[in-house]
A and B are shown apart, each in its own frame.
Chain A
Amino acid sequence: MHAPKMVEIRLYLLLICSMLLISGCYKKQSANEETEPVKTTPAIIEKNAPSGKPATPPETTTPSKVDVNVYLEISNGMKGFMPTPAAGKEATTFQNNLVKLISEVQDGRYVDEKGFYLAKEDAQSRPVLDSVSYNTMKSYIVSGIKDDVRGTPLPAMLKAALQKSIEQGAVSVIISDFIHGPDPRDQGQFISLDSDIRSSLREAEHQGLAIAILGNTSEFFGNYYPAVKKPEIRRSLNGGEIPYYIWVIGKQEDVQVVTNKVLRNLPAQQAYFGFEYESIPYSALLKEKAFKPAGVVYCSSRNADPCTSVNLQPEKKEPVEFTIGLDLSQLPLSMQTIDYLKKNLKVTSTGSRSTIVSVTAADETIKATPDLAKYTHFVRVRVPELTANSGTISVQLPQVTPAWISGWSTDNDNNPAADPKKTYQLTKIVDGVQALYRDQNDFVFNATIEFKKAD
C-alpha cells in the first residue's frame, strides 16, 4: 500500500510548486513596481479607488489683491468723451465706464495700493504724469477737461506710465483714444510708430509683463482731432462713435485680476499679448462615458490621472478618436469662448497624422460629473494613421492677433462720421506690441499627449 503515500507526496509537491509559482509572481510584481508608475497589487488586484495622486497645482496662484495705477490721457482729443454735463444730457459710455472703473479701483476689494494719474504733455511734447486724487480724476471724467493739452506723444506716454508702474510694482491701466499726436514739427514719427511703440514697451517684455488691450467705443461730443490733418484739421462731432482703449499692463496674473475682477464687463474687443501658460491641466479621457473613444486606444498606465500617455493603434477601417480634457479657466475669458477656440486651436503631431474633430465646452451634465468637473473644454482628436511607433500629439493655442484689430484700424481717420469706429494705424500700434513678444513662445498653451503604438 505505497500508492497513497506516493500520492500524498505528489500532492504536497504540487501544492509547494503552486505556492512557489504564486509567491514567485508576487516577487516579480513588486520588482515591477519600481519601474511602473502605477502601483499594481498582485494576485487579487483591485481597481483602486479614485487615485490619491494630487492634481498638478495651477502654475500661478491668483493673487487676491493687486496694486493699480490708472492713467487717463487728457489731451484736447479726449475732451469729446467727457463733455461738460448739462441738464437732460446723458452721460457718454466713456463716462459711465470710467467712473465705474475708477470707483472699483478706489473702493473695490481686489485693489490694494492705487494711484491716479492724468497724462498730458508739456510745451516740449514730453509726457507729464500728474498724480491726482480719486476725486480729482472723477471730476475730470464727469465734468470735463479744463486743461489745454495739444497732443499725445503716444510711445513716450506709454513709456512713462510703464516706468512709473514698474517702479511701484503696480498694474498700469492706461485709458486713451490712442491717436498718436506727435509734435507737429516731427510728423515722421508716424512712419516709425510700430518701432517706437515697441521701444517704449521694451521694459514690459524684459520684466515679463503681459499686455491686455480692450477696445470700446463711446459717443463723442465736441472737437475731434484726427491724426490725418487733411482736409480738416478738426471735426466737430455730436454723438458720433469714437473708439477708446484701455491698456492693462502688468504681470499676467495681475492683469487677469484687473480684467476679470476690477474691469469686469469687458467689451467684445479684447487682445492679449505675452500671455502664456506653462502648464494647464489636461488629460486624455479614455474611460468617460460622455467621451467614448473609438478604435484601439487606451491609457498607457491603468490608473494614471491625468493620463498624458496613451497606446494606440489606428486601423484603416477604424481610425482612433479620443477626447482630451483641458482646464482653460486660467485663460482670459475671450480665449475661452468656443468660437475663438474652434477657430484657433490646432493639433500638431510627431509620428502620426492627427486632426481636430470637435471642440466643446463643459455643459451642466459634465460639470456634475466628478471626474470631468475639473475640465472646462474638450477637444476630440482623430488619429487615422501612425507614421512612427511612438510620438506626441499636441493641442496648441497659437498667439494670434484678433481680427477686430484690423477692422478697427484705418489709414485715414479724417472723417470719423463717414468711417466710424476706426483708429488711425491701430494695426501698426499693435504690430509694435506684438513685436515685443515675437521671440517668446508661439503658443498660449500646449497640451502634449505622448503615444506609443499599442502591442
Chain B
Amino acid sequence: MIQNFFSGLYELFLGRPIPANFTNDYREVVFPNTGLMLFIITLSIVIIYYYVLNRAMSTGLYKPKHWVMFLILNAIIAFIIPVMQVTGNEIETHSYTYMFAFVNVIYSLILFFVFSILLKRGSVQAWTTPMKWPNKK
C-alpha cells in the first residue's frame, strides 16, 4: 500500500521508471524510501526550526529569510536523497533520476510550507514566520 502510494505520487509526474528494467527497484525501494524520508526529514527540520531554535533556544532566527534558508536546506536534502537512493541501489542513472530528484524538491517545498503552517503556532519567537496567516492575535 505504502509502495503504491509513493509510486503513484512520483509516477504521476514522472511516468513509468526509466530504464524500465529497474521498475521494481523504483517502485518497491526507491519511491517509498524517498517519500518516507522526505516526510520525516521535512517534519524534523520544521520542528527544529520552530520548537528548538525559536522556542527552546531562542536563537533569533525568526525572520522570513531564516525560514527560507531552512526551506532551501530541506530542498537540497530532498534533491540529494533520491540521487543517493538510486545510486545506492545500483540502479543505472538516467535523466529520469534527476527529474525524480527535481519532483522530490517540489514536494519538499510544499510539505515544508504545510508543516510550517500547521506547527508555527507553537513557536514563541517565530509564530508569524513566514507570515502571520492563519494565526490571529
* Interface of chain A: mostly helix, strand, loop or mixed: mixed
Q: Are A302 and B20 in contact (CB under 8 A)?
A: no
Given contacts A7-B121, A298-B21, A47 and B2 within 8 Å (CB-CB): no
User: Which residues from A are CB-within-8-Å of B137?
Assistant: 3
Given contacts A10-B118, A43-B36, A45-B28, A287 and B2 within 8 Å (CB-CB): no
Contacting B at CB under 8 A, from A1-55, are 3-4, 6-8, 10-11, 14, 18, 22, 25, 28-29, 40, 42-47
Interface residue range, chain A: 35 or more
Q: Tell me, yes or no, whether A193 is within 8 Å of chain B by CB.
A: no
Q: Tell me, yes or no, whether A335 is within 8 Å of chain B by CB.
A: no
User: Which residues from B are CB-within-8-Å of A101?
Assistant: none
Q: Are A287 and B21 in contact (CB under 8 A)?
A: yes
Q: 0/1 per residue, B96-137, Cβ < 8 Å to A?
A: 000000000000000000000011011010000000000101
* Interface of chain B: mostly helix, strand, loop or mixed: helix
User: Which residues from A are CB-within-8-Å of B28?
Assistant: 40, 45, 302
User: Which residues from B are CB-within-8-Å of A300?
Assistant: 24
Q: Are B22 and A287 in contact (CB under 8 A)?
A: yes
User: Which residues from B are CB-within-8-Å of A22?
Assistant: 36
A3-B135, A10-B121 known, 5 other contacts, Cβ within 8 Å: A4-B124, A29-B2, A47-B29, A298-B20, A298-B24
Q: Are B122 and A11 in contact (CB under 8 A)?
A: yes
User: Which residues from A are CB-within-8-Å of B25?
Assistant: 47, 302
Name the residue on B nearest A286 (C-beta).
B21
- The 8 Å CB contact of A25, one of B1, B21, B43, B89, is B1
A257 to B88, CA, bound (A): 46
Q: Are A301 and B2 in contact (CB under 8 A)?
A: no
Distance in Å: Cβ of A61 to nearest Cβ of chain B: 34
Which one, A127-135, A163-171, A289-297, is touching chain B?
A: A289-297
Q: Tell me, yes or no, whether A266 is within 8 Å of chain B by CB.
A: no
Q: Tell me, yes or no, whether A401 is within 8 Å of chain B by CB.
A: no
A229 to B111, CA, bound (A): 98
A53 to B37, CA, bound (A): 30
Q: Tell me, yes or no, whether B93 is within 8 Å of chain A by CB.
A: no
Distance in Å: Cβ of B125 to nearest Cβ of chain A: 12
Q: Tell me, yes or no, whether B39 is within 8 Å of chain A by CB.
A: yes
Q: Are B121 and A45 in contact (CB under 8 A)?
A: no
Q: Tell me, yes or no, whether B82 is within 8 Å of chain A by CB.
A: no
User: Which residues from B are CB-within-8-Å of A209?
Assistant: none
User: Which residues from B are CB-within-8-Å of A302?
Assistant: 24-25, 28-29
A13 to B124, CA, bound (A): 20
Name the residue on A nearest B124 (C-beta).
A4
Q: Are B23 and A298 in contact (CB under 8 A)?
A: yes
Q: Are A14 and B118 in contact (CB under 8 A)?
A: yes
User: Which residues from A are CB-within-8-Å of B3?
Assistant: 40
A310 to B6, CA, bound (A): 22
A29 to B47, CA, bound (A): 28
A-B contact pairs, 7 of them (CB 8 A): A6-B121, A25-B2, A28-B2, A29-B2, A45-B28, A46-B89, A292-B19
Distance in Å: Cβ of B120 to nearest Cβ of chain A: 8
Q: 0/1 per residue, B6-23, Cβ < 8 Å to A?
A: 000000000010011111
Q: Tell me, yes or no, whether A454 is within 8 Å of chain B by CB.
A: yes
Q: Tell me, yes or no, whether B33 is within 8 Å of chain A by CB.
A: yes
Q: Tell me, yes or no, whether A299 is within 8 Å of chain B by CB.
A: yes
